[in-house]
Amino acid sequence: MKLKCPTCGREYDEPVQRCECGEPVEFKLFEGEPYIAKTVWERFYDFWPVEPAMELSLGEGDTPLVKSRIGRELGVRLYLKNETANPTWSFKDRGTFLAVSYAVKAGYGAVGTVSTGNMAASVAAYAARAGLKAKILVSESASDEKLKAVGVYGADVIRVKGDYGRLYFESLKLGEKLGVYFINSDNPFRVEGYKGIAFEIAEEITPDYVLIPTSSGGLFRGIAKGFIELRESGLIEEIPTLVAVQAEGCSPICRAFSEGKERIGRFENPKTIAKAIANPYPPSGNAVLKLLREFGWKCLSVSDEEILEAQRKLAGEGIFVQPASATGVAALEKLVEGGGIEEGAKIVSILTGSGLKTLATAGQGNARECPLEGLENCVSF
Amino acid sequence: MKLKCPTCGREYDEPVQRCECGEPVEFKLFEGEPYIAKTVWERFYDFWPVEPAMELSLGEGDTPLVKSRIGRELGVRLYLKNETANPTWSFKDRGTFLAVSYAVKAGYGAVGTVSTGNMAASVAAYAARAGLKAKILVSESASDEKLKAVGVYGADVIRVKGDYGRLYFESLKLGEKLGVYFINSDNPFRVEGYKGIAFEIAEEITPDYVLIPTSSGGLFRGIAKGFIELRESGLIEEIPTLVAVQAEGCSPICRAFSEGKERIGRFENPKTIAKAIANPYPPSGNAVLKLLREFGWKCLSVSDEEILEAQRKLAGEGIFVQPASATGVAALEKLVEGGGIEEGAKIVSILTGSGLKTLATAGQGNARECPLEGLENCVSF
């Protein structure tokens, strides 16, 4: 606290109200880099477990909530929360930012993660932003193409030969030993970052249902915690019904849920086009299961055909997502057919990541050929 | 105007103040889909030449302005306006949205464009959103890979054999005849949409310089017009110095500017890694030239090596852009070395499009191999 008398110039460290010269004192002029806040991190400042290090922010969060035509024929109102409009084009950035804020504060010189996709790129990017080293552990079979979008940020990418499933726990152990803060899929700071999705939705509408593509369970838990905290703090009256959506070819949580089990089991031979949510033994699976039971929520699984159809429908509205991101919309019909959905219900589907990241699976770039001289025939319809 | 008496229920179409029964009248209850506005389109509502059709919006605009470390060693403050966080991951969406708003209002059933890259995807996406047909004219040599990101939106992609340069004008003629509204690079509504970049920057800081990757000239003209309108309307005091940045291998505007010419000439044999700004005969080139002269602004060109180095520097801050989008940062050193830049000057560089769109040129996805058993040695440093 630095006070100064504008009349005589005398300075004070303690909170006096008037100067010895008899004139009023005032706080010294603001110095340094002004930062005028308006993002979800400031609007919901009290809700974060660590101070968001805004100088490390890349502008994650505050993504568009877009009204969709898709729900119309089903008699519901569908909204799309477009997380592809994040700095590395997936929802992961929200969690990575908060976890990196913590890592820097805690004095780590390096961060890491176990991922080949969205999370790998996100951790690599925020590590670069923060000036930290990044150790990205990927599976032996990860394609060079996918790793390009990670390597550009200058991360140390390590292809690990051996049981990929063990890597999650191995990395946490090793990280603790070596001073590398591993920000895996359900790191507690990462999960907190996802609360912002709930906060932003609640600022715009009061949804009845939220469809959430669910793999590790980190995103689901974060959104759930966000809505629960909003209600506990009195900002909203009711928590919407959350729906965990998985691919049929890898649905360990939905399976355990429908079988009435307390714990998930490993899903053998996972096979789905929705690679980004194909975790056969999700580390937050049991935690998600508990939430589903406690709140009477739902778990729905969808086929690859339904996923691809939903991806096409979304592109038909101008939004190009990864297959995994289309699972929410793919589950919409099942949700409505399942009954109990009131006419005009407000349903939000979370679109998790950009379709540019899975362009290889996006079909052909079909084009007709046409000579310039005959252009009129080609353009007319 | 629908007024109603809450006491007796009588309704009025004209603006009466009290009911015949003697009681006060009121407007009827709001019905329909509520839309509560907060985007750049509403904040600067008066500045658009056509009403933005918000039901067609995909959440374009309101992109992050990120403080960069890059300018520090040069003694300036660099800010990055990250346009890759748009619905189709480039600045084009702002212009496309406004032009499609017009096309729908004007009753067109189809829109079109001449492009193989960012603009093609953007027009295809917004056409899908609006339920319009889309005719995308691409060059004979456009790669299948690039067209994938356009075809997903359901557009009719036409590979035209013949002089690509003529297509711009041919398409406008044909479009008028056939009822297809062509939204090319410097369509006047498109240019208006780009004003939002200036508006958003001015909401956050008062920049001294703005670095703008310049190809057709549409983006440059839009940002210029935005700042000019802000000053004319009294919202800002001074217009920043705008800097058009081109690739050395295709710099028709900078060449004409430095040679003191009134009109640009065709740039023969263009060759640059920055494909998105490699227009050898930009349709708004003369208009940009006039602005540069009138306001005493600057034109700088940068080499492919400088562009790639800038792309690496940006990735080193967590932002992965196309080569064309790195030209602004590539020109920073030249701008400062050119002299006349005050210490601590605030400089904004416009990052136009996502690096995911040019992944093929992004180098290798290098990864080390490591057995799980020896992971400690690989992760330690």
In this prediction, residue B113 carries a pLDDT of 97
Q: In the sheet where A11-12 sits, what is the strand order?
A: A11-12, A3-4, A26-27
Which residues of chain B lie closer than 8 angstroms to A354, CB-CB?
89, 354, 356
The yes-or-no verdict on residue B177 having pLDDT over 80 is yes
Structurally, at CATH architecture level, domain A61-88+189-357 sits in: 3-Layer(aba) Sandwich (3.40)
Angle between helical axes of B285-295 and B218-232 (0-180°, round to 10): 40
Q: Which residues of B does the annotation place in the binding site?
A: 118, 352
The yes-or-no verdict on residue A285 having pLDDT over 90 is yes
Topology alike, domains B59-87+189-359 and B92-182: yes
Check the CA dihedral A107-A184-B63-B284 and report its sign. Answer: positive
- Beta-carbon contacts of residue B305 (< 8 Å; ≥ 6 apart): none
- CB contact under 8 Å between A62 and B62, yes or no, is yes
CA of B100, closest CA in chain A: separation in Å? 13
DSSP symbols for B168-224: HHHHHHHHHHHTEEE--TT-HHHHHHHHHHHHHHHHH---SEEEEE-SSSHHHHHHH
- pLDDT digits over B104-151, tens only? 999 999 999 999 899 999 999 999 999 999 999 998 888 887 888 899
Burial environment of residue A138 by CB neighbours within 10 A (0 to 12, 13 to 18, 19 or more): buried
Structure token digits, residue B278:
């490699």
Closest residue in B to A143 (Cα) is B365
d(CA B43, CA B235) in angstroms, rounded, equals 13
- CB contact under 8 Å between A150 and B315, yes or no, is no
- CB contact under 8 Å between A160 and B372, yes or no, is yes
In this prediction, residue A139 carries a pLDDT of 86
Structurally, at CATH architecture level, domain B92-182 sits in: 3-Layer(aba) Sandwich (3.40)
- CB contact under 8 Å between A316 and B128, yes or no, is yes
In this prediction, residue B359 carries a pLDDT of 86
Nearest in space to B145 (alpha carbons), one of B366, B356, B324: B356
ipTM field: 0.92
Q: Which of B156, B354, B364 sits opposite A89 (nearest CB)?
A: B354
A29-33, A297-301, B31-35, B358-362: range with lowest mean pLDDT: B31-35
In this prediction, residue B324 carries a pLDDT of 96
In this prediction, residue B364 carries a pLDDT of 66
What does the pLDDT average to over B172-200? 96
Which residues of chain A lie closer than 8 angstroms to B154, CB-CB?
315-316
Confirm if A117 and A138 have CB atoms less than 8 A apart. Answer: no
A–B CB contacts, 8 A cutoff, strictly below: 277
- CB contact under 8 Å between B379 and A178, yes or no, is yes
Q: Which residue in the block uniquely carries the two structure tokens 């505050």?
A: A62
Nearest in space to A352 (alpha carbons), one of A168, A122, A111, A53: A122
Structure token digits, residue B182:
């062509």
Which residues of chain B lie closer than 8 angstroms to A140, CB-CB?
369
Predicted confidence band of residue B218 (pLDDT cuts 50, 70, 90): very high
d(CA B352, CA B212) in angstroms, rounded, equals 9
A27-36, A164-173, B258-267, B273-282: range with lowest mean pLDDT: A27-36
- CB contact under 8 Å between B138 and A367, yes or no, is yes
Burial environment of residue B281 by CB neighbours within 10 A (0 to 12, 13 to 18, 19 or more): middle
The yes-or-no verdict on residue A35 having pLDDT over 80 is no
Q: Which residue in the block uniquely carries the two structure tokens 């369970």?
A: A217
The matching CATH number, chosen from 2.40.40.20, 3.40.50.1100, 3.10.129.10, 3.40.50.970, for B59-87+189-359 is 3.40.50.1100
CA of A166, closest CA in chain B: separation in Å? 9
User: According to DSSP H, which parts of B235-275 are helical?
Assistant: 252-258
Which residue, among A379, A380, A381, would best test binding to B if mutated, counting the most B CBs under 10 Å from its CB?
Answer: A379
In this prediction, residue B365 carries a pLDDT of 67
- CB contact under 8 Å between B318 and A128, yes or no, is yes
Say how many C-beta atoms besides its own lie within 10 A of residue B145's C-beta. 13
Q: Which residues of B does the annotation place in the binding site for pyridoxal 5'-phosphate?
A: 118, 352
In this prediction, residue B90 carries a pLDDT of 97
Which residues of chain A lie closer than 8 angstroms to B201, CB-CB?
none
What does the pLDDT average to over B180-184? 97
The yes-or-no verdict on residue B217 having pLDDT over 90 is yes
Q: Domain limits of chain A?
A: 61-88+189-357, 92-182
- CB contact under 8 Å between B319 and A125, yes or no, is yes
Predicted confidence band of residue A145 (pLDDT cuts 50, 70, 90): confident
The yes-or-no verdict on residue A365 having pLDDT over 80 is no
CA of A314, closest CA in chain B: separation in Å? 9
Which residues of chain B lie closer than 8 angstroms to A363, CB-CB?
148, 151-152
Which residues of chain B lie closer than 8 angstroms to A88, CB-CB?
318, 320
- pLDDT digits over B248-285, tens only? 999 999 999 999 999 999 999 999 999 899 999 999 99
Which residues of chain A lie closer than 8 angstroms to B137, CB-CB?
375, 379
Q: Which residues of A does the annotation place in the binding site for pyridoxal 5'-phosphate?
A: 118, 352
d(CA B191, CA A4) in angstroms, rounded, equals 50
Structure token digits, residue B123:
């027009």
Within chain B, what is the greatest distance between any pair of CA atoms?
A: 90
- CB contact under 8 Å between B66 and A85, yes or no, is no
Which residues of chain A lie closer than 8 angstroms to B161, CB-CB?
369-372
- Beta-carbon contacts of residue A340 (< 8 Å; ≥ 6 apart): none
In this prediction, residue B362 carries a pLDDT of 76
β-strands A156-161, A180-182: how paired?
unpaired
What does the pLDDT average to over A340-354? 95
Buried b (16+ CB within 10 A) or exposed e, B161-180: ebebeebbebbbebbeebeb
Closest residue in B to A309 (Cα) is B152
The yes-or-no verdict on residue A271 having pLDDT over 70 is yes
- pLDDT digits over B2-11, tens only? 899 999 999 9
Which residues of chain A lie closer than 8 angstroms to B55, CB-CB?
67
The yes-or-no verdict on residue B318 having pLDDT over 90 is yes
In this prediction, residue B38 carries a pLDDT of 87
The yes-or-no verdict on residue A3 having pLDDT over 90 is yes
Closest residue in A to B313 (Cα) is A153
- CB contact under 8 Å between A160 and B355, yes or no, is no
